[in-house]
Structure 1
């Protein structure tokens, strides 16, 4: 198995990340477009973490920290590359980032219907907190 490289995304990676998410991510988000990812990379250049094998993007995670909480989004591994430790490596990199920034607790946004992801997050030591309900409001006017 070829060596796995973990690194922060750059503006040059945006198109390949968007294409990757169409293949590897479960569902899409209103911010899954060039403008949204450009804003993320410009605002927090270390937040979008990539996993690569030579010549191939194989995984992503967004490790956002707002100064109060650590948030994980878009943990995605290419379907042909799953169960090879890529997700584990991405989460380790995200958690290391959070510790460096002084974060104390990480939460993950996971679709209710994505049972495969529920098992993966549980195996990584994350616990579903059923007493929380997420409220969402799309923002307009930007």
Structure 2
């Protein structure tokens, strides 16, 4: 999408990003609060990628790298801007970040019920691995 700019989110934008996620993201995470976003940005200032269009949030993705694996979370695009290349621009930026860090494979957390997201990830070259299940424990 012409005019979309992808950059790293700043700590002073935590509230703005949370408001964007409430509007554009599917589901709620245990970390979806200002403290969680600030902790992410403080720990890894380049992990939260923000796409902007006309000065407003157009999309986000968290591109986390732990030294072993490349993890993608919170791919969200403003509903009115979907299917215009915002997600593609975000994923390209995330993949460039991973390659620069020596990452070898990206994995994404995608809700089973989010069919639109399945199509977006698939069109970006990602595929579901049916042999894995996510195991979690709230801390």
**Alignment correspondent of 1:54:** 54
Tell me how large the CA RMSD over aligned residues is. 0.9
Q: Is the 8 A contact 1:68 1:103 kept in 2?
A: yes
Q: CA deviation digits over 1:82-128, x for unaligned, max 9?
A: 01100000000000000000000000000011011011100100010
Q: Is the 8 A contact 1:50 1:59 kept in 2?
A: yes
**Alignment correspondent of 2:108:** 108
Alpha-carbon distance, 1:55 to partner: 2.2
The 5-angstrom pairing of residues 75-90 of structure 1 reads 75-90=75-90
Secondary structure of the residue aligned to 2:67 is: coil
**Alignment correspondent of 2:91:** 91
Q: Give unmatched runs, 5+ long, in structure 2.
A: none
| TM-score normalised by length of structure 1 | 0.96
Secondary structure of the residue aligned to 2:57 is: strand
**Alignment correspondent of 1:117:** 117
**Alignment correspondent of 2:33:** 33
Q: Is the 8 A contact 1:2 1:54 kept in 2?
A: no
2:62 & 2:109 partners in 1: Cα distance?
11
Q: CA deviation digits over 1:42-86, x for unaligned, max 9?
A: 000000000001221010000000000000000000000001100
**Which runs of 4 or more aligned residues in structure 1 lie more than 6 Å from their structure 2 counterparts after TM superposition?**
none
Alpha-carbon distance, 1:11 to partner: 0.7
Alpha-carbon distance, 1:2 to partner: 5.5
Q: Give unmatched runs, 5+ long, in structure 1.
A: none
